[in-house]
Amino acid sequence: MRHFDFSPLYRSTVGFDRVFTMLDSLAQPEQPTYPPYNIEKTGDNAYRISMAVAGFDESELSIELNQHILSVKGEKSDDKADGAELLYRGIAKRAFERRFQLADHVEVRAAHLKNGLLHIDLVREIPEAMKPRRIEIAAPSAAEAPKAIEAQVINS
Protein backbone atom coordinates (compact mmCIF):
# COMPACT_ATOMS: atom_id res chain seq x y z
CA MET A 1 0.00 0.00 0.00
CA ARG A 2 3.00 2.30 -0.37
CA HIS A 3 2.47 2.84 -4.08
CA PHE A 4 1.05 6.19 -5.16
CA ASP A 5 -0.56 6.69 -8.55
CA PHE A 6 0.78 9.88 -10.14
CA SER A 7 -1.03 9.42 -13.45
CA PRO A 8 -3.67 12.13 -12.75
CA LEU A 9 -0.83 14.63 -12.32
CA TYR A 10 0.75 13.77 -15.70
CA ARG A 11 -2.08 15.41 -17.64
CA SER A 12 -1.89 18.72 -15.73
CA THR A 13 1.89 19.20 -15.78
CA VAL A 14 4.40 19.65 -18.54
CA GLY A 15 8.02 18.62 -18.10
CA PHE A 16 7.66 17.12 -14.63
CA ASP A 17 7.19 13.50 -15.74
CA ARG A 18 10.79 12.73 -14.74
CA VAL A 19 10.13 14.01 -11.21
CA PHE A 20 7.10 11.76 -10.82
CA THR A 21 9.04 8.78 -12.16
CA MET A 22 11.77 9.42 -9.61
CA LEU A 23 9.22 9.72 -6.80
CA ASP A 24 7.61 6.50 -7.97
CA SER A 25 10.96 4.70 -7.94
CA LEU A 26 11.67 5.88 -4.37
CA ALA A 27 8.68 3.93 -3.12
CA GLN A 28 10.10 0.68 -4.54
CA PRO A 29 11.35 -1.59 -1.73
CA GLU A 30 14.21 -3.07 -3.80
CA GLN A 31 16.52 -0.11 -3.24
CA PRO A 32 19.94 -1.27 -2.01
CA THR A 33 20.87 -0.32 1.54
CA TYR A 34 24.59 -1.13 1.48
CA PRO A 35 26.74 0.84 1.99
CA PRO A 36 24.98 3.47 4.10
CA TYR A 37 25.49 7.09 3.05
CA ASN A 38 24.66 10.67 3.96
CA ILE A 39 24.01 13.62 1.65
CA GLU A 40 24.68 16.96 3.27
CA LYS A 41 24.56 20.56 2.14
CA THR A 42 27.84 22.24 3.00
CA GLY A 43 27.20 25.65 1.39
CA ASP A 44 24.79 27.56 -0.80
CA ASN A 45 25.72 25.51 -3.87
CA ALA A 46 27.98 22.88 -2.28
CA TYR A 47 27.07 19.32 -1.30
CA ARG A 48 28.87 16.28 0.09
CA ILE A 49 28.07 12.59 -0.19
CA SER A 50 29.62 10.54 2.63
CA MET A 51 29.60 6.76 2.32
CA ALA A 52 30.61 4.27 5.02
CA VAL A 53 33.09 2.01 3.24
CA ALA A 54 34.97 0.51 6.18
CA GLY A 55 37.50 -2.10 5.10
CA PHE A 56 37.96 -0.70 1.58
CA ASP A 57 41.01 1.23 0.49
CA GLU A 58 41.47 3.62 -2.45
CA SER A 59 42.54 0.89 -4.86
CA GLU A 60 39.30 -1.08 -4.27
CA LEU A 61 36.98 1.90 -4.91
CA SER A 62 36.11 3.57 -8.20
CA ILE A 63 34.04 6.69 -8.87
CA GLU A 64 32.63 7.43 -12.32
CA LEU A 65 30.44 10.25 -13.63
CA ASN A 66 28.51 9.54 -16.83
CA GLN A 67 25.61 11.70 -18.08
CA HIS A 68 24.52 13.07 -14.68
CA ILE A 69 24.81 9.65 -12.99
CA LEU A 70 27.49 9.31 -10.34
CA SER A 71 28.49 5.65 -9.79
CA VAL A 72 30.53 4.49 -6.83
CA LYS A 73 31.79 0.89 -7.00
CA GLY A 74 33.65 -1.14 -4.44
CA GLU A 75 35.26 -4.50 -5.11
CA LYS A 76 37.01 -6.14 -2.19
CA SER A 77 40.24 -7.96 -2.92
CA ASP A 78 40.91 -11.43 -1.47
CA ASP A 79 41.97 -11.46 2.22
CA LYS A 80 43.80 -14.80 1.90
CA ALA A 81 47.01 -13.02 0.84
CA ASP A 82 48.10 -12.29 4.43
CA GLY A 83 47.83 -15.99 5.42
CA ALA A 84 45.55 -15.45 8.46
CA GLU A 85 42.63 -17.83 9.07
CA LEU A 86 39.32 -16.01 9.50
CA LEU A 87 37.26 -17.42 12.41
CA TYR A 88 34.34 -14.98 12.22
CA ARG A 89 33.36 -12.47 9.53
CA GLY A 90 31.50 -9.47 10.91
CA ILE A 91 32.82 -6.90 8.45
CA ALA A 92 31.05 -7.06 5.12
CA LYS A 93 33.27 -8.07 2.24
CA ARG A 94 30.67 -7.84 -0.49
CA ALA A 95 31.08 -5.76 -3.57
CA PHE A 96 28.71 -2.86 -4.09
CA GLU A 97 27.61 -0.30 -6.63
CA ARG A 98 25.71 2.81 -5.61
CA ARG A 99 24.30 5.29 -8.15
CA PHE A 100 23.27 8.89 -7.61
CA GLN A 101 21.29 10.99 -10.10
CA LEU A 102 22.83 14.46 -10.20
CA ALA A 103 20.90 17.56 -11.17
CA ASP A 104 21.91 19.78 -14.07
CA HIS A 105 25.07 21.85 -13.57
CA VAL A 106 26.29 19.75 -10.61
CA GLU A 107 29.97 18.85 -10.85
CA VAL A 108 32.19 16.56 -8.78
CA ARG A 109 35.00 18.62 -7.23
CA ALA A 110 36.93 16.09 -5.13
CA ALA A 111 36.79 12.71 -3.43
CA HIS A 112 38.81 11.44 -0.49
CA LEU A 113 38.80 8.49 1.90
CA LYS A 114 39.27 9.18 5.60
CA ASN A 115 38.55 7.00 8.64
CA GLY A 116 36.46 4.51 6.64
CA LEU A 117 34.29 7.24 5.07
CA LEU A 118 34.41 8.12 1.39
CA HIS A 119 33.64 11.82 0.95
CA ILE A 120 32.60 13.11 -2.49
CA ASP A 121 32.36 16.90 -2.76
CA LEU A 122 29.90 18.33 -5.28
CA VAL A 123 29.21 21.88 -6.40
CA ARG A 124 26.38 23.34 -8.44
CA GLU A 125 27.57 26.04 -10.82
CA ILE A 126 24.82 27.76 -12.77
CA PRO A 127 26.09 29.48 -15.94
CA GLU A 128 25.76 33.27 -16.05
CA ALA A 129 23.32 33.04 -18.97
CA MET A 130 20.92 30.97 -16.85
CA LYS A 131 21.09 33.06 -13.68
CA PRO A 132 18.17 35.39 -13.06
CA ARG A 133 18.91 39.02 -13.78
CA ARG A 134 17.06 42.23 -13.06
CA ILE A 135 15.86 44.30 -16.00
CA GLU A 136 15.65 48.01 -15.30
CA ILE A 137 12.57 49.85 -16.53
CA ALA A 138 13.58 53.14 -18.13
CA ALA A 139 11.28 56.15 -17.97
CA PRO A 140 10.86 57.96 -21.29
CA SER A 141 13.01 61.07 -21.62
CA ALA A 142 11.57 64.51 -22.32
CA ALA A 143 12.50 64.21 -25.99
CA GLU A 144 10.61 60.93 -26.28
CA ALA A 145 7.54 62.09 -24.34
CA PRO A 146 4.33 62.13 -26.35
CA LYS A 147 3.46 65.58 -27.67
CA ALA A 148 0.11 67.14 -27.05
CA ILE A 149 -1.87 68.20 -30.10
CA GLU A 150 -3.14 71.73 -29.91
CA ALA A 151 -6.44 72.47 -31.50
CA GLN A 152 -8.42 75.62 -31.97
CA VAL A 153 -12.04 75.74 -31.02
CA ILE A 154 -14.22 77.18 -33.76
CA ASN A 155 -17.25 79.07 -32.57
CA SER A 156 -20.16 79.02 -34.87
Task: Note the pLDDT tens digit of each residue in 95-135.
Answer: 889 998 888 888 899 999 998 899 999 998 888 887 788 88
Check residues 16 and 46 and name the one with the higher pLDDT.
Answer: 46
Check residues 65 and 126 and name the one with the higher pLDDT.
Answer: 65
Angle at 109 between CA 69 and CA 125, to 5 degrees: 80
Mean pLDDT of 14-27: 58
DSSP 8-state assignment for residue 20: H
CATH class of 32-127: mainly beta
CATH code 2.60.40.790 region(s) in the chain: 32-127
Cα separation of 9 and 134, whole Å?
A: 33
